[in-house]
């Protein structure tokens, strides 16, 4: 690839984003302008359109709208309240216990709904007033909610891991799902440790210790929701159904659950489906344009060029992984997760494979890295939702968010350089060698 094409690709993308063009359109226009240099304009437009259509012609992608619909049903069905009650019965009596409740509830709800934004909104709306009433600072509560909401994107089922499987050329979704459990729990535990230290320094109160009967009753109430994880993940791991089929099972299970709870009526279904269609359209348009750009970069030999450059800088895997993490952290600040995964997976996957890193391990590292970007301005969607729910300005949340942000970086380094954190469980279950 010539330097002119590289310059056109980078400059056009940055300029378009800088003047406020939506990211999906910026990606498509940048891909088109870059390809125009190599082929006639008419052929370029046809090729980009074909690549966008071909990219969406994937059975795997059918899982995304189903999981989005399942998340919409879960978000409206009283699931968050039951999970919060269960988490509070477990850890609410600890010093600063409501922060722990917030984190555990976000981990559970995020894993069930598959959406960090939905988790930040649902759990933040429920926990914010409770924490403020018991003397917690609003900015601290919002920071805890924002940072922990991202854990649900690592703990399966996760749409972004499905996107990574597509971008990587077919890494096992079952292996990726199982590889996300231990890292997700580790990040949650580290956030609880950090939030607990902050709460103790601030002198936040402990709650009342729940009786065994209270713990049992809240667990029973939350159990049907928690069982969805067992049904969906258990079915995938045992080969009963594929990840795409599991997404349809998740919708059926969610529908039964919310009607059993009687918190969603027939009249509520239409807006839920409409929201699902809107969200799916946005996500799949991003997928289509990102896959077109990925093809353009492959056509212009960008991934191989970057691989050669990085391996020229150093042949030390530690140095290379640090460089890739820094690049992805910068990317996450300015770009949404879906296009970032689709664009940068083909670029960095050959590099890490050349250093001996397993693709499943890289997938978890990449997703966690980009999760951190959701908590940072100017594009951090979870940051904006968390601040909106708490009715706070972004600058008010940044200070209490910094220790939690650093804690997530520590977790990222552990997961990057200790492969068994990600790979132990899928290997134990025979999903990979």
Q: Give residue-wise pLDDT tens across range 9-43.
A: 878 888 888 888 888 888 888 888 888 877 665 56
Q: Has residue 2 got a pLDDT over 60?
A: no
- State the pLDDT at residue 77: 65
Q: Has residue 408 got a pLDDT over 80?
A: yes
CA 120 to chain centroid, in Å, comes to 12
- State the pLDDT at residue 1: 47
Predicted confidence band at 423 (pLDDT cuts at 50, 70, 90)?
A: very high
Helix, strand or coil for residue 409?
A: helix
Q: Has residue 184 got a pLDDT over 60?
A: yes
Q: pTM for the whole thing?
A: 0.86
Q: Which residue, among 216, 280, 200, has the nearest Cα to 86 in the 3D structure? A: 216
Percent of the residues in the chain that have a pLDDT greater than 90, as a whole number? 21
User: What does the pLDDT average to over 78-102?
Assistant: 80
Predicted confidence band at 236 (pLDDT cuts at 50, 70, 90)?
A: confident
Q: Has residue 261 got a pLDDT over 80?
A: no
Q: Give residue-wise pLDDT tens across range 316-355.
A: 889 999 999 998 988 888 778 888 898 889 889 988 998 8
Q: Has residue 361 got a pLDDT over 90?
A: yes
Sign of the Cα torsion 201, 398, 84, 103 reads negative
What's the CA gap between 254 and 275, in Å, rounded? 16
Distances (CA, A) of 67 to 16, 94, 157, 246, 310: 31, 34, 8, 9, 37
Calculate helix-pair angle for 138-149, 381-390, nearest 10 degrees.
150
- State the pLDDT at residue 375: 86
Cβ proximity of 280 and 96 under 8 Å: no
- State the pLDDT at residue 40: 60
Cβ proximity of 291 and 51 under 8 Å: yes
100-139 b/e (C-beta count within 10 Å ≥ 16 → b) = bbbbbbbbbbbbbbbbbbbbbbbbbebbbebbeeeebbbb
Q: Give residue-wise pLDDT tens across range 114-165.
A: 778 778 888 888 888 888 888 888 999 999 999 998 888 888 888 889 889 9
Q: Has residue 7 got a pLDDT over 90?
A: no
Q: Give residue-wise pLDDT tens across range 142-156.
A: 999 999 988 888 888
Domain boundaries, the chain: 1-57, 58-428
Please provide the average confidence, as pLDDT, over all residues in the chain: 85
Q: Give residue-wise pLDDT tens across range 196-213.
A: 899 888 888 776 777 888
Distances (CA, A) of 45 to 34, 48, 49, 53, 191: 11, 5, 6, 12, 47
Percent of the residues in the chain that have a pLDDT greater than 70, as a whole number? 96
């Amino acid at each position: 690839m010539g330097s002119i094409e590289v310059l056109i690709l980078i400059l056009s993308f940055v300029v378009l984003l800088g003047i406020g063009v939506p990211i999906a359109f910026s990606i498509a226009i940048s891909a088109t302008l870059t390809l125009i240099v190599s082929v006639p304009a008419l052929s370029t437009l046809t090729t980009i359109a074909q690549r966008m259509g071909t990219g969406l012609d994937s059975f795997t992608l059918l899982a995304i709208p189903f999981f989005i619909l399942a998340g919409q049903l879960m978000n409206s069905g009283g699931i968050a309240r039951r999970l919060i009650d269960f988490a509070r019965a477990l850890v609410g009596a600890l010093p600063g216990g409501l922060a722990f409740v917030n984190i555990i509830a976000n981990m559970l709800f995020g894993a069930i709904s598959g959406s960090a934004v939905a988790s930040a909104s649902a759990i933040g709306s429920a926990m914010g007033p409770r924490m403020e009433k018991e003397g917690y600072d609003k900015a601290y509560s919002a920071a805890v909610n924002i940072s922990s909401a991202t854990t649900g994107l690592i703990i399966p089922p996760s749409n972004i891991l499905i996107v990574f499987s597509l971008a990587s050329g077919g890494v096992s979704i079952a292996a990726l799902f199982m590889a996300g459990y231990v890292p997700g729990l580790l990040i949650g535990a580290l956030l609880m440790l950090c939030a607990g230290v902050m709460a103790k320094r601030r002198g936040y109160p402990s709650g009342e210790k729940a009786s065994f009967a209270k713990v049992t009753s809240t667990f029973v109430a939350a159990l049907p929701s928690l069982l969805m994880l067992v049904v969906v993940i258990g079915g995938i791991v045992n080969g009963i159904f594929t990840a795409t089929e599991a997404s349809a099972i998740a919708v059926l299970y969610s529908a039964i659950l919310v009607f059993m709870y009687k918190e969603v009526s027939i009249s509520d279904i239409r807006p839920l489906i409409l929201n699902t269609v809107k969200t799916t359209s946005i996500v799949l348009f991003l997928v289509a344009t990102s896959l077109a750009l990925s093809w353009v970069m492959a056509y212009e030999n960008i991934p191989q060029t970057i691989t050669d450059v990085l391996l020229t800088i150093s042949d030390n895997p530690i140095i290379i992984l640090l460089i890739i993490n820094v690049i992805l952290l910068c990317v996450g600040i300015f770009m949404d997760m879906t296009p970032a995964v689709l664009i940068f997976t083909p670029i960095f996957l050959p590099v890490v494979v050349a250093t001996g890193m397993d693709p499943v391990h890289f997938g978890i590292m990449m997703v966690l890295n980009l999760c951190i970007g959701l908590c940072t301005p100017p594009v951090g969607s979870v940051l904006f939702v968390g601040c909106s729910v708490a009715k706070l300005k972004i600058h008010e949340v940044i200070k209490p968010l910094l220790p939690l942000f650093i804690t997530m970086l520590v977790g990222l380094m552990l997961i990057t350089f200790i492969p068994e954190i990600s790979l132990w469980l899928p290997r134990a279950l025979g999903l990979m060698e």
